[in-house]
A and B are shown apart, each in its own frame.
Chain A
Amino acid sequence: MRLRRLHRLTALLLGLGFGLAAPYYLRAAYSQDPDPQNEKAEFYWSRLRYTSSAVGRGGGFGFGYGYGYGYGYAGWARDYPKADRQFLLALKRLTRIQMRPVEQIVDLNSDDIFNYPWVYAVQVANWTFSDAQAQRLREYLLKGGFLMVDDFHGTADWDRFMAGMRQVLPDLPVEDLSDSDEIFHVLYDLGERFQVPGEQYVNTGRTYEKDGYVPKWRAIRDSKGRIIVAICHNMHLGDAWEWADMPEYPENFASMAYRVGLNYIVYGMTH
């Protein structure tokens, strides 16, 4: 009996220890390069870290650096870093862009974001900005920065996303992109696209989440007609990048997600 208790305690401690250490092991697994963070490059995959309304009541940026495997519910870190790094592998292989193999975290609390003219944000239904952060993001976009947002679904998410967006760009309209828009042809011709679901598709067969039945390819343009915010609503490209190596995840979704991401980066670097 005592031995059984001891075994249970040992198992619990081991489980707890493994659970706590798991993020660090996983992080190391994706850090094969001895010091990739120090590599200098033309392009840095920049992920926007923002204050999340859902988990942000405690302040700061949520629970540490949740790495996407159920740890931490900070919205900005969804699919991080696996999605980022798997996408960067494709970017390196399929384009001539000289990039760093690991991602860069940027936030709106310092001017460092101005050194990274392309930024990716997910779960933007939960983002909130202080006035200073909104002002910085506005200046970033109007000076020539490019923002791609992904992984928010349905009507309620859209409304919350727009609440944040209207803090940043109160006057610029959101428009639906036509199939002929340059952003869909800058690298790959993506005149016909389809909804790219998240990982839930593997278990449920559903391509949508919440009431986001139809994918919305939307954008905000500057005064010269250049897209400065590319909006991927009712789809989850990040999951497609992340689970592209999962045999059960359909290749056509992953392929579309990669192509869209590559097009958006090339567009952001040319317009």
Chain B
Amino acid sequence: MFEFLFKYPFAAFHTGQLVLLGAWPKWLLPVLILLTAAGLALYLRRTRLRAAPTLQSWRLPVIGLLEWLTAAVLLVLLWQPALVVTELEPRQNIIAILVDDSRSMNQVESGSTREEQAVRALQSGVLPKLQQNFQTRLYRFDTHLSRIAGPTELGPAAAPATHIGASLEQLMTQTGDLPLGAVVLLSDGGDNTGGVDRHAIDALRNRRVPVYTVGFGAERVAQDVEIEDVVVASRVLAGSRLSATVKFQQRGYGGQKSTLTVRDGGQVLSSREITFAPDGSVQTESLLFNIGPAGAKTLQFVVEPLASETNRANNTLSRLVNVDPDPRRILYFEGEPRWEYKFIRRAAEDDRMIQLVSMLRTTENKIYRQGVSGSHELADGFPSSASDLFGYEALIIGSVDAGYFTPTQQQLIRDFVDRRGGGLLLLGGRQSLADGVWGGSKVADLLPVILPDGRDTFHRDPATVSLTAAGADSVITRLVDDSAANTERWRRLPYLMDYQDPGRPKPGAAVLAEMHSGQRAMPLLVTESYGRGRTAVLATGGTWRWQMSLPLGDKSHDLFWQQLLRWLVSDTRGRLIASAPKATLLDDGQVQITADVRDNEYHAAADALVTARLIGPTGLTAALAFDPVPNSPGRFKADWAAPTPGLYVTELTARRGAEDIGTDVVTFQRLDGVAENFHTEQNRALLEGLAASTGGRYMRPAELASLPREIPYSQAGITVQQIKELWNMPIAFLVILLLRACEWLLRRKWGVV
């Protein structure tokens, strides 16, 4: 229709430049249009008294406006408007036709696969018409490009991944010295790299090659469940209780039930029933499970497929979790004998991954040590050097006045959290928090609360407890799996033996639990991240009463403390921290492993030597050498490519002269073909974006017939400039006829004809 009305395809107007071919001066056109308007206005003003009575209101200017528009269109046509367009020289240029050959094109819709639909579309006349004026080259692409002789060589689509950007870049390279006029890309838009990168777009733009994209596949599937993401800690202690957040979307099953499961190999770690939210909405569910013994584990999160669900492969997503076998050491300094100390120790004794080293001021001049590795450990009191304090992963400070610690020790505690990345927990007590004047110490900035002014904030009175919304799902406060049941469980816990007003939580801090004394509610457990570490305040010394008051065998007290202690140390790393940007490499084995190395005071160790030994599937081994990262002291990197799918374990070692800094392990897995099962709906946005950014156009398969007429308007390849006259466009005459018809109809309606 566009071409019928405007004489030329849309592409001509999109790429062409509008000019006036008439010999008269161009400035005269707007002048005449304005003069016509003025003359008509003057004429109507003079004749309005003689006009019919029905026209003596606003109707006369309307008639005048229609006549002026008619005159303006005629004047424009007299000046001979035309388009200057750049067209491909017939039979001199190449048109590249790229057909997606990845597995997602094998989806059956309306009785045939997407790839079959693409082949049919090409063979239904488009290809012969293009070949009349251009040399065509046919390619299939997945992660790379392959030239084929004809459409019959396509299919069945089976490639495990699609890299549109890489394929286009490859095309640009291969045709660098050829007159490439345009690219036609037939695809469902499923790209496993997350989109077409800047390099590919730039390569196309530099040669002004337009990409015409033709989208195949339904833009919205009728019935499907797809897991979009799973968030779970990538590194945990053995035996940890983990919380995973599973994000998924479904269509066609709103209100129905299914089961969310996490498996480690064949073993089901946890499973629970879920009810689907309304169609199309993103749903988030959490799942709690025990990770079990140490090792690298590939967890599979599954939403059990429903009846009539065709694509079941996108119901499963895997995540890699490194389960650390080494226990963590926590230093607990307590200023006076009290029950909380005893019962924290007893809870920690039941967790073999936690070594609680404690110092207790039994008298003014005696400190009783427990859990020390030898008589020398902490023999001189609380550590006064970074190398001594930083050997622990977390620090608990009980009922002890801030003034007990020297300024140097206070600074060490601050550095322990900020620089070393340790966890810090302050407990309530008669010499704690505000009563211990911690608000004026160097540690005050670290605390997740703004302590109240003054003292007398500690009270030996009962306080009941409750969870906040944040606490209901926290791994620290999770006593039972179900969130609502957990909240109720906390509400029914015995009262605390004492409480302390911790003040106000700082912005960014999370209040996980509250306590209530009379009508007053106060934060009980507040956490936040600080620097490389994390801090928490538990504003009581009376949780021990849970252990003594709950029935024998109830694990609430111990579980809470074990989870709190594990949270304190879970993200505290050693002097060598190895990391990979992604734990799962989809279809591409390229990975850069990074190592951050610190000296014994946790300053960057720029002069370290980092090596790694890598073990892959089927007995593959490799040695990696790390290079320093410029402008990042203490950071080293090594690039490597995983050749085959499977699990890769990399053990890094760092040395500094004769000093052995430590080791760390990073694991990653390469999965091929998995990404093709996800986002199987047509990614129209990607295809439209690619076309728009290169000067091409997105088309539905039904519009493909217009491609041979549009494609010549390209500035790439061998081109020639053409002038396309516009004065004889049907639309111009239609407009004039329409204006006149409107005027006639209005006059007739108003009774002046």
Q: Choose the segment among A195-203, A231-239, A250-258, A263-271 that binds chain B (4+ C-beta atoms closer than 8 Å).
A: A263-271
Interface string of B459-481 (1 = CB under 8 A from A): 01100000000000000000000
Do A144 and B362 have beta carbons less than 8 Å apart?
no
Please indicate the chain A residues that have their CB under 8 angstroms from the CB of B552 in the complex: 139, 142-143
A186 on interface, CB distance cutoff 8 Å: yes
* Size class of the contact patch on chain A: 20 to 34
Please indicate the chain A residues that have their CB under 8 angstroms from the CB of B346 in the complex: 144, 224, 226, 271
A41 on interface, CB distance cutoff 8 Å: yes
Q: Choose the segment among B229-237, B334-342, B412-420 that binds chain A (4+ C-beta atoms closer than 8 Å).
A: B334-342
Please indicate the chain B residues that have their CB under 8 angstroms from the CB of A226 in the complex: 346
Do A114 and B549 have beta carbons less than 8 Å apart?
yes
Do B341 and A187 have beta carbons less than 8 Å apart?
no
Do A97 and B343 have beta carbons less than 8 Å apart?
no
Please indicate the chain A residues that have their CB under 8 angstroms from the CB of B337 in the complex: 42-43, 95-97, 265-266, 269-270
Given A97-B337, A117-B548: A144 and B343 interface contact (C-beta under 8 Å): yes
Given A142-B552, A186-B368, A224-B349: A117 and B339 interface contact (C-beta under 8 Å): yes
A98 on interface, CB distance cutoff 8 Å: yes
Q: How far is the CB of A161 from chain B (nearest CB, A)?
A: 24
Do A115 and B361 have beta carbons less than 8 Å apart?
no
A193 on interface, CB distance cutoff 8 Å: no
Closest to B340 in A: A42
Do B549 and A111 have beta carbons less than 8 Å apart?
yes
**Cα–Cα distance between A142 and B548 once the two chains are bound (Å):** 9
A6 on interface, CB distance cutoff 8 Å: no
B545 on interface, CB distance cutoff 8 Å: yes
Please indicate the chain B residues that have their CB under 8 angstroms from the CB of A266 in the complex: 337, 362, 368
Please indicate the chain B residues that have their CB under 8 angstroms from the CB of A271 in the complex: 342, 345-346
**Cα–Cα distance between A97 and B364 once the two chains are bound (Å):** 10
A1 on interface, CB distance cutoff 8 Å: no
**Cα–Cα distance between A265 and B362 once the two chains are bound (Å):** 11
B430 on interface, CB distance cutoff 8 Å: yes
Given A139-B552, A270-B360: A97 and B547 interface contact (C-beta under 8 Å): no
Please indicate the chain A residues that have their CB under 8 angstroms from the CB of B544 in the complex: 117, 144
Please indicate the chain B residues that have their CB under 8 angstroms from the CB of A270 in the complex: 337, 341-342, 345, 360, 368, 370
**Cα–Cα distance between A96 and B368 once the two chains are bound (Å):** 12
Chain B interface residue count, CB cutoff 8 Å, equals 31
Do A187 and B336 have beta carbons less than 8 Å apart?
no
A145 on interface, CB distance cutoff 8 Å: yes
A7 on interface, CB distance cutoff 8 Å: no
B50 on interface, CB distance cutoff 8 Å: no
Please indicate the chain A residues that have their CB under 8 angstroms from the CB of B548 in the complex: 114-115, 117, 140, 143-145
Q: How far is the CB of B427 from chain A (nearest CB, A)?
A: 13
Please indicate the chain B residues that have their CB under 8 angstroms from the CB of A96 in the complex: 335-337, 361-364
A8 on interface, CB distance cutoff 8 Å: no
Q: How far is the CB of B348 from chain A (nearest CB, A)?
A: 12
Please tell me which one of the listed residues B338, B370, B461, B547 contacts residue A144 in the complex, with CB atoms under 8 A apart: B547
Please indicate the chain A residues that have their CB under 8 angstroms from the CB of B338 in the complex: 42-43, 97-98, 269
Please tell me which one of the listed residues A40, A111, A117 contacts residue B460 in the complex, with CB atoms under 8 A apart: A40
**Cα–Cα distance between A71 and B548 once the two chains are bound (Å):** 35
Please indicate the chain B residues that have their CB under 8 angstroms from the CB of A21 in the complex: none
Please indicate the chain A residues that have their CB under 8 angstroms from the CB of B360 in the complex: 270
Give residues of chain B (320-340) contacting chain A, Cβ–Cβ below 8 Å.
335-339
**Cα–Cα distance between A270 and B359 once the two chains are bound (Å):** 11
Do B339 and A42 have beta carbons less than 8 Å apart?
yes
Closest to B497 in A: A115
Q: How far is the CB of B456 from chain A (nearest CB, A)?
A: 13
Q: How far is the CB of A13 from chain B (nearest CB, A)?
A: 47
Please indicate the chain A residues that have their CB under 8 angstroms from the CB of B339 in the complex: 42, 117, 269
Q: How far is the CB of B275 from chain A (nearest CB, A)?
A: 40
B198 on interface, CB distance cutoff 8 Å: no
Do A94 and B363 have beta carbons less than 8 Å apart?
yes
Closest to A271 in B: B342
**Cα–Cα distance between A269 and B370 once the two chains are bound (Å):** 12
**Cα–Cα distance between A117 and B346 once the two chains are bound (Å):** 14
Most buried by A among B339, B497, B549: B339
Q: How far is the CB of B12 from chain A (nearest CB, A)?
A: 87
Do A187 and B368 have beta carbons less than 8 Å apart?
yes
B366 on interface, CB distance cutoff 8 Å: yes
**Cα–Cα distance between A111 and B550 once the two chains are bound (Å):** 11
Q: How far is the CB of B230 from chain A (nearest CB, A)?
A: 38
**Cα–Cα distance between A94 and B336 once the two chains are bound (Å):** 12
Closest to B430 in A: A98
Please indicate the chain A residues that have their CB under 8 angstroms from the CB of B341 in the complex: 269-270
Do A187 and B362 have beta carbons less than 8 Å apart?
yes
Please indicate the chain B residues that have their CB under 8 angstroms from the CB of A95 in the complex: 337, 362-363
Closest to A94 in B: B363
Q: How far is the CB of B309 from chain A (nearest CB, A)?
A: 51
Please indicate the chain B residues that have their CB under 8 angstroms from the CB of A43 in the complex: 337-338
Please tell me which one of the listed residues A140, A143, A145, A187 contacts residue B366 in the complex, with CB atoms under 8 A apart: A187
Do A98 and B549 have beta carbons less than 8 Å apart?
no
Please indicate the chain A residues that have their CB under 8 angstroms from the CB of B370 in the complex: 270
**Cα–Cα distance between A269 and B345 once the two chains are bound (Å):** 10
Give residues of chain A (106-139) contacting chain B, Cβ–Cβ below 8 Å.
111, 114-115, 117, 139
Q: How far is the CB of B405 from chain A (nearest CB, A)?
A: 16
Closest to A139 in B: B552
Do A97 and B336 have beta carbons less than 8 Å apart?
yes
Q: How far is the CB of B261 from chain A (nearest CB, A)?
A: 35
Given A144-B343, A271-B342: A42 and B336 interface contact (C-beta under 8 Å): yes
Q: How far is the CB of B343 from chain A (nearest CB, A)?
A: 6
Q: How far is the CB of B290 from chain A (nearest CB, A)?
A: 22
Do B362 and A143 have beta carbons less than 8 Å apart?
no
Give residues of chain B (615-666) contacting chain A, Cβ–Cβ below 8 Å.
none
Q: How far is the CB of A62 from chain B (nearest CB, A)?
A: 27
Do A98 and B345 have beta carbons less than 8 Å apart?
no
Please indicate the chain B residues that have their CB under 8 angstroms from the CB of A41 in the complex: 460
Closest to B360 in A: A270
Please indicate the chain B residues that have their CB under 8 angstroms from the CB of A224 in the complex: 346, 349
**Cα–Cα distance between A19 and B437 once the two chains are bound (Å):** 53
Closest to A116 in B: B548
Q: How far is the CB of A181 from chain B (nearest CB, A)?
A: 14
Closest to A99 in B: B337
Interface string of A13-42 (1 = CB under 8 A from B): 000000000000000000000000000111
Please indicate the chain A residues that have their CB under 8 angstroms from the CB of B551 in the complex: 139
Please indicate the chain A residues that have their CB under 8 angstroms from the CB of B363 in the complex: 94-96, 187
Most buried by A among B366, B370, B547: B366
Please indicate the chain B residues that have their CB under 8 angstroms from the CB of A187 in the complex: 362-363, 366, 368
**Cα–Cα distance between A143 and B550 once the two chains are bound (Å):** 9
**Cα–Cα distance between A142 and B364 once the two chains are bound (Å):** 31
**Cα–Cα distance between A111 and B494 once the two chains are bound (Å):** 13
Please indicate the chain A residues that have their CB under 8 angstroms from the CB of B549 in the complex: 111, 114-115
Do A269 and B460 have beta carbons less than 8 Å apart?
no
Q: How far is the CB of A262 from chain B (nearest CB, A)?
A: 9
Please indicate the chain A residues that have their CB under 8 angstroms from the CB of B547 in the complex: 143-144
Closest to A140 in B: B548
Q: How far is the CB of A145 from chain B (nearest CB, A)?
A: 7
Q: How far is the CB of A76 from chain B (nearest CB, A)?
A: 22
**Cα–Cα distance between A100 and B339 once the two chains are bound (Å):** 15
Please indicate the chain B residues that have their CB under 8 angstroms from the CB of A40 in the complex: 460-461
Name 13 interchain pairs, CB-CB below 8 A, sorted by A. Answer: A42-B338, A95-B337, A96-B363, A111-B549, A114-B545, A114-B549, A115-B497, A115-B548, A115-B549, A187-B368, A224-B349, A269-B342, A270-B345
- Given A117-B342, A270-B341, 4 further pairs, Cβ under 8 A: A40-B460, A40-B461, A43-B338, A266-B362
Q: Which residues of A contact B (CB under 8 A)?
A: 40-43, 94-98, 111, 114-115, 117, 139-140, 142-145, 186-187, 224, 226, 265-266, 268-271
Q: Which residues of B contact A (CB under 8 A)?
A: 335-339, 341-343, 345-346, 349, 360-364, 366, 368, 370, 430, 460-461, 497, 541, 544-545, 547-549, 551-552
* Pairs A-B, 9 closest by C-beta atoms: A40-B460, A96-B336, A114-B548, A269-B337, A139-B552, A97-B337, A42-B338, A114-B549, A269-B342
